[in-house]
Every structure is written in structure tokens, then in C-alpha cells.
């Protein structure tokens, strides 16, 4: 067994992350490996510093406390704001709950510093390791979302697939309206004297909707001057995977050799790209702007969805974190 198992684990995780980045750069497991490396190294550094230099340990604790406190308060405030604006829906409630969880971990640390105790200290180390790991993953994921959400459409695009979103009565809601405007902007940016794009409007009718999202999108674009012969409706899909599969089947059946660009919200680009690769759908994904107040809650929801997509792989990687965590707990 190495003398410093946390550092050894960090090196192994980092090496795995490099290999994974070269072989599968778009997998979120690459980010997980690097986060495991940082978490392992952080545990080792904190444990050694606390033993040798208490002052340094205090500085490290404060350096970790302030960003965590800011993140917890931001999540809680955003959740409360969205609940006031949209009511007690799943995304706002989950955002507020995530903020409360972050603040609860910080509260646990404060209680430990006031009370102490060996067994309690072991619990605090384990909880902090898990919370730090998830926080790092989330911060990396927000970077993924930010970068991917600003991708540009292919210049040779022949079809623009607009992924559906919720309706406001019988009309597109704010998210869907932004997606439609982004699709129109892609068409308007094409050089003069080139064929105009065909819009594939993908979205079925939800249980709480009075019509299909495809029909609502078609009416919106026709009101903006798009002729009916450039509108293709896909009105059966009820999730992103079906959006991609059903739309690709429509386009492939009518236009061999097409180049399709899918438009969704910026926070949804990364997961849509992963789904398209898994389904074998040849589509380039671009994002439409999202309200700043909704972006954080939506990104948190996407983060949970990505963790679910790669749940087996990420669970296996996360179990490896038990080695440095157990070592730190035993040495506490």
C-alpha cells in the first residue's frame, strides 16, 4: 500500500481521465475521473495540512467554505424566485432543495467544529468528500453546458429540427419561442441565392396541452412568413430521444444527403448531443438563449439527467472514491 493512498488514487484517476479524454472526449465520465482526482488530492492535502500546519488547514477550509456558501445561497434564492414566478413545480423545488443540501453540509461542519468527537469527525469527512465530489461534477457540467450552448450551426444545413417545449395555452411558451426565433435566425443567416432551410417541427401533445407542440410551432412560423411547404410536422414525440429519432426518419425519408441542425435551449444542447450520438442520429445541435433566472435550475435538472444516463459507469467510478475517503476517515 502506498504511503499516501489519497495522492496515489489522485494520480490513477487523473491518468484514467487523460486516457478517457483521448478515447471518448465527449463522455461525462471523463469529467468524473478528473473530479475524483481532485477530490482525492484535496482529501490528502487537507489531512496532511491539518496535521502539520493547523493555520494552513484553516485557510483551506475558508477557501472551500466561501464558494460552497455562495453556491448554496444562489441555488436557494433561485429556487425561491422560480417558485414565486411559476409555482411549486419540480425544477424550482429541486433547485431550492439542492441549495438547502449544500447549506446543511456547511452546517454539519460548523457543528463539528463546535462539538468535536472522533466518530462525528469521521462522518464529517465522508459527507464532505461526497458533497465535494458532486459539487465539482456540477461545476464542470455547468462549464460543459455553457460552452456547448454556444455552438454554431453548420453552414450547409438543409433542415432545421426544432425540439418541442411547453405551450402557453395554444401558443409556444417562452422556451419554445426562443427556439423558434433561433431557427429563423439560422435561416436568415444563409447566403443569398441559396436554398432556404426546411423546418422540422418536433413535438407531440402533452397531457396538459390543448394541441400538439408541432402544430403550435407551425402556426407561429407561418405567422412569421414561412410558407407551408417549408414546414414539416412531427407530432408524435414526447421526449428528446423521440424528437431526434422521429425527426431524423422524416428527413431521411424525403431528402437523402441532408444536413440537419437541431435547435433546443442552450442548457439542453449537451444532453441532446449525447442522445443523438447514442441513437446514431447524424445531427448538429445548437442552443437558443435561456432566461438567466431559469438557466441554473434547468442546468441542475440536466445534470441529474446526465448522471442518470451514465448511472452505471459513474456509480462504478464513484465507488473508487471509497479508498481515499476510508483512508482519511481512519486517519482522522
Distances (CA, A) of 251 to 188, 190, 203, 231: 21, 20, 15, 11
Q: What is the pLDDT of residue 161?
A: 94
Which residue, among 106, 105, 100, has the nearest Cα to 74 in the 3D structure?
Answer: 100
Q: What is the DSSP letter of 238?
A: -
Query: Quick one: how far is CA 111 from the chain centroid?
Result: 32
Contact 180, 172 (CB under 8 A): yes
Q: What is the pLDDT of residue 1?
A: 43
Cell of 278: 447514442
Q: What is the pLDDT of residue 313?
A: 57
| DSSP string over 28-81 | HHHHHHHHHHHHHHHHHHHHHHHHH-HHHHHHHHHHHHHHHHHHHHHHHHHHHH
Residue segments in the chain with a per-residue pLDDT below the cut of 50 = 1, 329-330, 332
Reported as a single tens digit per residue, the pLDDT across 270-283 is 889 888 888 888 88
Contact 35, 131 (CB under 8 A): no
Cell of 71: 453556491
Please give the Cα distance from 264 to 165 (Å, whole number): 9
Amino acid at each position: 500500500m502506498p504511503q499516501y493512498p489519497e495522492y496515489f488514487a489522485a494520480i490513477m484517476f487523473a491518468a484514467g481521465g487523460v486516457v478517457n479524454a483521448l478515447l471518448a472526449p465527449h463522455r461525462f465520465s471523463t469529467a468524473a475521473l478528473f473530479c475524483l482526482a481532485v477530490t482525492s488530492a484535496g482529501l490528502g492535502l487537507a489531512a496532511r495540512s491539518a496535521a502539520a500546519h493547523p493555520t494552513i488547514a484553516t485557510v483551506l477550509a475558508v477557501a472551500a467554505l466561501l464558494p460552497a456558501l455562495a453556491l448554496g445561497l444562489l441555488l436557494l434564492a433561485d429556487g425561491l424566485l422560480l417558485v414565486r414566478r411559476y409555482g411549486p413545480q419540480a425544477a424550482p423545488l429541486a433547485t431550492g432543495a439542492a441549495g438547502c443540501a449544500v447549506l446543511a453540509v456547511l452546517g454539519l461542519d460548523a457543528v463539528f467544529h463546535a462539538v468535536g468527537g472522533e466518530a462525528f469527525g469521521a462522518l464529517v469527512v465522508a459527507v464532505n468528500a461526497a458533497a465535494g465530489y458532486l459539487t465539482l461534477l456540477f461545476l464542470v457540467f455547468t462549464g460543459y453546458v455553457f460552452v456547448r450552448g454556444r455552438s454554431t450551426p453548420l453552414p450547409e444545413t438543409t433542415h432545421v429540427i426544432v425540439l418541442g417545449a411547453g405551450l402557453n395555452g395554444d401558443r409556444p411558451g417562452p422556451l419554445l419561442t426562443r427556439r423558434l426565433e433561433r431557427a429563423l435566425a439560422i435561416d436568415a443567416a444563409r447566403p443569398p441565392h441559396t436554398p432556404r432551410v426546411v423546418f422540422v417541427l418536433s413535438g407531440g401533445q402533452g397531457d396538459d396541452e390543448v394541441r400538439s407542440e408541432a402544430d403550435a410551432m407551425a402556426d407561429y412560423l407561418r405567422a412569421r412568413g414561412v410558407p407551408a411547404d417549408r414546414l414539416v410536422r412531427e407530432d408524435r414525440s414526447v421526449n428528446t430521444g423521440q424528437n431526434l429519432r422521429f425527426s431524423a426518419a422524416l428527413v431521411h425519408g424525403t431528402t437523402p444527403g441532408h444536413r440537419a441542425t437541431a435547435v433546443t435551449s442552450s442548457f439542453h444542447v449537451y444532453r441532446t448531443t449525447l442522445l443523438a450520438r447514442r441513437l446514431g442520429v447524424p445531427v448538429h445541435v445548437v442552443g437558443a438563449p435561456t432566461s438567466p433566472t431559469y438557466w441554473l435550475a434547468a442546468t441542475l435538472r440536466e445534470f441529474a439527467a446526465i448522471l442518470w444516463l451514465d448511472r452505471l459507469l459513474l456509480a462504478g467510478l464513484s465507488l473508487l472514491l471509497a479508498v481515499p475517503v476510508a483512508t482519511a476517515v481512519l486517519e482522522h
